[in-house]
Amino acid sequence: MSLRPVRTALAEAARQLEAVSDTPRLDAELLMAHALGTTRDRLLLGSLGDPEPDRFAALVARRLTHEPIAYITGTRAFWTIDLAVGPGVLIPRPDSETLIETALAWFAGRAPRRILDLGTGPGTLLLAALAEWPQAQGLGVDASEAALGYARRNAEALGMTDRAEFRLGDWATGIDGTFDLILANPPYIGTAEPLPPQVLEHEPAEALFAGADGLDDYRRIVPALPRLLAPDGAAVLEIGWTQAQAVSLLGQEQGLTSSVYKDMGGRPRVVRLT
């Protein structure tokens, strides 16, 4: 066992992680909390004087190869829930919480009964929405069996297996009925766009890239929305920050009304189609 206290190990790890991370101290604290089997808050409040756990160095070494923190710890917080994640699934981003905020604003005092999440990944958007509306039922569709495995485990951990169904599928193909709320965070990165190593080398390419202009999947999703949307329903789509006009136009070509919403950084992040 290391004789160094946690605070010393954290400081050294943060210095090392400066080479691969914009948030080296935060990364070190999250990895240390994981190594200790505690939360970051409890670590900072009561464990800084404890001895460094043996497994911490190995976790830092993994991060130094650009492996995402969420894959190392196996979990990621999103909205009000915690999700299990791992290789083969897109890691939930804080910017995607803009979709839930947009949906909440649209429904205001009422609640959706049926929710569809296209490209659900580990269940991110669907399970966050079901946490907001306890009487709602939802369907999550994804082309990845690995992602659906995580989604089902997350639904079970959150006590939502009776309300959340997950299905292997190709966007809206074969989906029947109508939905009050349709959520989607499709791939929207152009094939030539640069990405940081922790994304490009670790997260699934099929969840990131969508043709030369990043719009290929919108061209498949948006035409299906008129038949899937219930009266007074809304489709809430995440976009790349330069794509608001293009995705809005795709919706307008289908007779839908579009509105654009910005993320916490002030960039266009969501197109709502009604």
In this predicted model, what pLDDT tens digit does every residue of 110-167 receive, in sequence order? 999 999 999 999 999 999 999 999 999 999 999 999 999 999 999 999 999 999 999 9
Query: How does strand 179-184 pair with strand 114-118?
Result: parallel
What is the domain class of 6-65 according to CATH? mainly alpha
For 266, residues 6+ apart whose C-beta sits below 8 A from its C-beta are none
Q: Which band of pLDDT confidence, cut at 50, 70 and 90, is reported for residue 3?
A: confident
Please compute the mean of the pLDDT values over residues 176-199 and round it to a whole number. 95
pTM recorded for the entire structure:
0.95
Farthest CA pair distance, the chain: 67
Give the whole-angstrom CA distance, residue 67 versus residue 201. 8
Alpha carbons 227 and 272: distance in angstroms, whole number: 16
**Which of 91, 60, 42 has the alpha carbon at shortest distance from 207?**
91
Name the residue type at position 163: R
Q: How far is CA 201 from CA 40, 66, 236, in A?
A: 27, 8, 29
Please give the average per-residue pLDDT across 66-90, as a whole number: 97
Give me the percent of the chain exceeding a pLDDT of 70: 99
Please report, for residues 51, 65, 244, the alpha-carbon distance to residue 270 in angstroms, rounded to integers and kept in the order given: 46, 32, 8
CATH 1.10.8 domain extents, the chain: 6-65
Assess whether pLDDT exceeds 80 at residue 2.
no
Amino acid at site 230? A
Query: Is pLDDT at 1 greater than 60 in this prediction?
Result: no
Torsion, Cα 20 186 124 270, to 10 degrees, reads 90
Look up residue 64 and give its amino acid.
Answer: L
Q: Which CATH class is domain 80-273?
A: alpha beta
Cβ proximity of 92 and 69 under 8 Å? no
Helix/strand/coil for 215: coil
The terminus-to-terminus CA distance of the chain in angstroms comes to 59
- CATH 3.40.50.150 positions along the chain are 80-273
What CA–CA distance (Å, rounded) separates 189 from 113? 32
pLDDT for 109 equals 87
pLDDT band at 75 (very low <50, low <70, confident <90, very high): very high
Give the pairing of strands 179-184 and 229-238: parallel
User: Would the pLDDT of 82 be above 60?
Assistant: yes
Residue 101 backbone dihedrals phi, psi, to 5 degrees: -60, -45
> Which two three-digit tokens encode residue 222?
């948006």
| Mean pLDDT estimate for the chain | 97
pLDDT for 29 beyond 60: yes
User: How far apart (Å, rounded) are the C-alpha atoms in residues 242 and 51?
Assistant: 48
CB 183 within 8 A of CB 121: no
Rounded distance between C-alpha atoms, residue 269 and residue 214, angstroms: 14
